[in-house]
């Protein structure tokens, strides 16, 4: 599955790295692409291993708001 999440507060390369690393640590996430200009994150994942809620929690734990 692929989902695009709206993430507020990402402004720089450090933000991009923090979100990417947090998501890639989750079992079942195969691809993460952060788009700073659009404020979105594309996540390709295995829905049998990780839920959308877990994806959102991982981003929120880095200090960003997920819509």
DSSP the chain: -EEEEEEES--SHHHHHHHHHHHHTSTTEEEEEEETTTTEEEEEE-TTT--HHHHHHHHHTTT-EE-
Which residue's structure tokens are 């507020």? 8
What is residue 36's predicted lDDT score, i.e. its pLDDT?
A: 96
Cα(13)–Cα(38) distance, integer angstroms: 14
Q: Give tens-digit pLDDT for 25-62.
A: 999 999 999 999 999 999 999 999 999 999 999 999 99
Q: Give tens-digit pLDDT for 4-31.
A: 999 999 999 999 999 999 999 999 999 9
pTM value? 0.95
Can you list the domains of the chain with their CATH numbers? 2-66 (3.30.70.100)
């Amino acid at each position: 599955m692929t989902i695009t999440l709206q993430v507020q507060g990402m402004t720089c390369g450090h933000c991009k790295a923090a979100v990417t690393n947090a998501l890639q640590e989750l079992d079942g996430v195969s691809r993460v692409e952060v788009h700073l200009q659009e404020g979105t994150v594309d996540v390709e994942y295995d829905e049998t291993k990780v839920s959308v809620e877990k994806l959102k929690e991982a981003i929120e734990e880095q200090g960003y708001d997920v819509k």
